C-alpha cells in the first residue's frame, strides 16, 4: 500500500471514529459497561487508550528520526493499557479528547516529513502485518469504534 493510501485510510477511520463520539457527554463517556473482556469499561477509557498509543507512535517516530531504535516492540501491551487507562481515568472528557485530537494532527505532520514512500520503518510502515507497520493505529480505532457504536446504538461503518 502506498503512503498516500495509508494516510487516506487513517483519515477515513478517524472520521468514522469521530462519528461514534458525536454528542457524547461526560456522563455517557464515563459509564462503566460490562464487556466480554471487561478491559475497557468506559468510552473515555477507549478514547484515552487510542490517544496513548498514538502518543507512543509519535515518540517512536522521533526516536527513529534521531537514529535510535523504536521502543514500541518492547512495550508490554497489557501493562501499558492498564497504566494509560488509570492515568486518564481522572481526566475530564474534554482533556482526553484534546489529547486525542492533538496526537492525530501531530501524526499527520510527522508522516508528512518522510519523502516519497518512506516512513518510520521505510515503505513497510504503510503495509499490514509488516515489522514496524503503523496499521495497528488504524485497526485499534476500527475495533474500538465498533465497540463504541455498539454501546451507543449507532450504525457507523468502519469498512
pLDDT tens track for 95-124 = 999 999 999 999 999 999 999 999 999 999
pLDDT tens track for 124-155 = 999 999 989 999 999 999 999 999 999 999 99
pTM: 0.92
Contact 43, 148 (CB under 8 A): yes
CA-CA distance, 131 to 103, in Å (whole number)? 22
- Find the range with the poorest average confidence among 35-39, 48-52, 54-58, 126-130: 35-39
Q: Which CATH number fits domain 3-152: 1.20.120.450, 1.10.3720.10, 3.40.50.880, 3.40.640.10?
A: 1.20.120.450
Task: Give the start-to-end residue ranges of the domains of the chain.
Answer: 3-152
- 145 by Cβ neighbours in 10 Å (0-12 / 13-18 / 19+) ranks as buried
pLDDT tens track for 53-91 = 999 999 999 999 999 999 998 999 999 999 999 999 999
Amino acid at each position: 500500500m502506498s503512503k498516500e493510501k495509508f494516510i487516506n485510510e487513517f483519515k477515513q477511520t478517524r472520521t468514522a471514529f469521530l462519528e461514534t463520539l458525536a454528542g457524547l457527554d461526560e456522563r455517557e463517556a464515563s459509564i462503566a459497561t460490562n464487556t466480554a473482556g471487561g478491559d475497557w469499561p468506559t468510552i473515555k477509557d477507549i478514547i484515552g487508550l487510542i490517544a496513548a498509543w498514538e502518543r507512543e507512535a509519535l515518540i517512536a517516530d522521533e526516536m527513529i528520526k534521531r537514529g535510535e531504535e523504536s521502543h514500541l516492540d518492547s512495550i508490554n501491551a497489557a501493562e501499558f493499557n492498564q497504566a494509560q487507562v488509570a492515568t486518564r481515568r481522572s481526566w475530564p472528557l474534554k482533556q482526553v479528547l484534546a489529547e486525542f485530537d492533538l496526537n492525530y494532527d501531530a501524526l499527520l505532520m510527522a508522516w508528512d516529513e518522510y519523502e516519497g514512500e518512506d516512513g518510520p520503518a521505510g515503505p513497510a510502515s504503510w503495509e499490514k502485518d509488516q515489522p514496524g507497520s503503523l496499521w495497528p493505529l488504524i485497526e485499534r480505532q476500527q475495533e474500538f469504534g465498533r465497540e463504541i457504536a455498539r454501546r451507543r446504538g449507532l450504525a457507523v461503518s468502519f469498512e
